[in-house]
Structure 1
Amino acid sequence: MKKLLLIYILLLSTITFAQKVTVKGIALDSTNGRNKVYITLNDTINKYLKNKDFDMDKYESLYDNKNFNTKVNNQNRFKIKAKLSDSLTFSSWRHITKSYLVSDLKSKKDIKIVLEPQVCEEYVPCKEENPKLYVFIGEKIKVDYAKRKYYCNRVSMDSKFDAKYKIVENLYGNFMNDTINYVAYDHYGKPGFSEYDNVILYVAEYCGELYHVKYQYNNVYKTKNGKWASPYQGFDYKKLDSLNIKRPIKMEFEKEVTFEYGKHTDTLWFEKRFPKPFYKTNGFKAKAVYGNYAIDIFEIMKKTILKTRGFFE
């Protein structure tokens, strides 16, 4: 009988925690309502930001889904449905985030969450005049969103990322370790280089810290002769007609390198991005035919973008 009673209690408890309840109350920060406090179920938004298969459209859809993410109204009141086993995260711009179990919140007579402001620190710019540059072919280990410091005297609209890559081949600078950890900043979301397994990366050392040279990378693939190469990209050759550089050549990649887009793709953009004879196209699918070896790509970068960034005379 006791065993049956215990099973009944456990079953009842499980059912209770699985059922959704309405959690409502007040949430505000130190701005007295000027900033809206957001309430997120099970920290869903932050968890998705760290997803290796991050997709901006899915992120925006999740962010706008009021079943997972909502905000207070003009009276600083909120309401959201959740299970007793769930948690709710309360966040606001430049304030310290707080998380609570739903079961704990429901035990309160009145729910009032007050977020404390973050404490800022002064930004001291690095005055490194001759930063070291490391150029290498890297294999992605991870690229994750990172928490930015809150500076009193500097505003940045970029997202920060912690990146870790295996060094497959050094091209310049001879970084001594097998792996490298560095920071990347990007205004448009997750960095473009994170979409590829292997890339040529450009990382500079400023005041003892490693930073990605913003927006600079080249996706590369193995060729049948065992070398790394990047498919032809027209912008690599802008204003380079008078320079002694190797032109793109026909490549036999170890695996077929193709780029495919949806039917609503702009035709003019596609033709400029994947011009013939450098690519063989079928509809909005392009197969790479021409390219440059990694070392030649680096020589192009030295004469163009890296030169304008002050790394080469």
Structure 2
Amino acid sequence: MTVDEWHKHNATQKIYAFVGKKISMESYDPPKKDEYRVNKSGDSVKVKYIKFDQGFKLKYKVIQNIHNEIKTDTIEFIAFDHYGIPPFSKYEHVLLFMTKEKEQFVHCKYQYFGLYKTESGRWAGIYDKSKYRKTRIQPIQIDFLEDVSVTLNDYLKKHRYFLYPKKYFEHFPDKVVTSYGNYVEDLFIIKKEGVLRARGYFE
């Protein structure tokens, strides 16, 4: 499939976005289909299947619909990740983005926001510099219910002031703490105006 074909396909798909909580996760191997192509000699040659991504089947509780409605209180979906276990699965609560292929929900690869409850009872995520490149949304101060921090590994420590600007983060030796971010409705707009638009889901 060419990039243009991929964008045209995506333009026909609905995006579902919801606040969820993990119930279960297990490894998933998609069914392998034999594929044959004709080589330069005119012979039919079987194409070898190579797995680039690790697959997972997940079940999540649907806490709040954000864009389009998932009509059940739980959802089962497939996710693929080139690097192993999907990073969104480490969060207790998360904003996830889905499409639906032949009645099967499929996670939009790498698209999520970790979420935290606020004093006002709403959901919000913390500021992530890399997510704000193509959006009109700006981070605001959030009344998170508890302190929200990011633990720093050696790489993050080396680049801490670039990744976590002092304007938005308080710096400690092994972590950064922030009260800046956006509520879940604006987090959806950030993805809509950025990655999801670039992939052809929105104009």
Per the normalisation by structure 1, the TM-score is 0.55
In the alignment, structure 1 residue 156 sits paired with structure 2 residue 40 = no
Distance change >3 Å, CA 273–CA 178, structure 1 → 2: same
* 1:211 aligned partner: 106
Displacement after TM superposition at 1:186 (Å): 0.8
CA offsets 1:107-132 (integer angstroms, 9 cap, x no match)? xxxxxxxxxxxxxxxxxxxx786122
Which is strand-richer, 1 or 2? 2
* 1:132 aligned partner: 14
* 1:303 aligned partner: 193
Q: Using the alignment, how far apart are the partners of 1:265 and 1:129 within structure 2?
A: 37
* 1:178 aligned partner: 73
Displacement after TM superposition at 1:265 (Å): 3.9
Distance change >3 Å, CA 208–CA 129, structure 1 → 2: farther
Q: CA RMSD in A?
A: 1.7
In the alignment, structure 1 residue 145 sits paired with structure 2 residue 40 = no
1:255-274 pair list within 5 angstroms:
255-262=146-153, 264-274=154-164
The total of aligned residue pairs comes to 182
Q: Using the alignment, how far apart are the partners of 2:12 and 2:52 within structure 1?
A: 26
**Identical columns (%):** 33
In the alignment, structure 1 residue 288 sits paired with structure 2 residue 178 = yes
Q: Using the alignment, how far apart are the partners of 2:156 and 2:141 within structure 1?
A: 27
In the alignment, structure 1 residue 252 sits paired with structure 2 residue 132 = no
Residue type of the partner of 1:269? H
Displacement after TM superposition at 1:279 (Å): 1.1
Distance change >3 Å, CA 156–CA 129, structure 1 → 2: farther
CA offsets 1:244-270 (integer angstroms, 9 cap, x no match)? x331111121111111224x3453422
Runs of 4+ deviating beyond 3 Å: 264-268
Displacement after TM superposition at 1:152 (Å): 2.2
Residue type of the partner of 2:23? I
CA offsets 1:5-45 (integer angstroms, 9 cap, x no match)? xxxxxxxxxxxxxxxxxxxxxxxxxxxxxxxxxxxxxxxxx
CA offsets 1:134-168 (integer angstroms, 9 cap, x no match)? 10011111121123323323533111100111011
Q: Using the alignment, how far apart are the partners of 1:249 and 1:212 within structure 2?
A: 28
Q: Using the alignment, how far apart are the partners of 1:128 and 1:236 within structure 2?
A: 21
> CA contact under 8 A between 2:28 and 2:56: conserved in structure 1?
yes
Distance change >3 Å, CA 268–CA 143, structure 1 → 2: same
* Bigger mean CA offset, 249-258 vs 186-195: 249-258
* 2:96 aligned partner: 201
Distance change >3 Å, CA 312–CA 275, structure 1 → 2: same
Uncovered stretches (5+) of structure 1, i.e. residues with no partner: 1-126
* 1:61 aligned partner: none
Distance change >3 Å, CA 298–CA 129, structure 1 → 2: closer
CA offsets 1:180-232 (integer angstroms, 9 cap, x no match)? 00000111000011111111000100122210000100001011111100000
Displacement after TM superposition at 1:239 (Å): 3.7
Uncovered stretches (5+) of structure 2, i.e. residues with no partner: 1-8, 36-48
CA offsets 1:288-310 (integer angstroms, 9 cap, x no match)? 22110010011111111111122
Task: Please state whether the residue corresponding to 1:132 is helix, strand or coil.
Answer: coil
Q: Using the alignment, how far apart are the partners of 1:269 and 1:290 within structure 2?
A: 19
Residue type of the partner of 2:20? G
Distance change >3 Å, CA 171–CA 156, structure 1 → 2: same
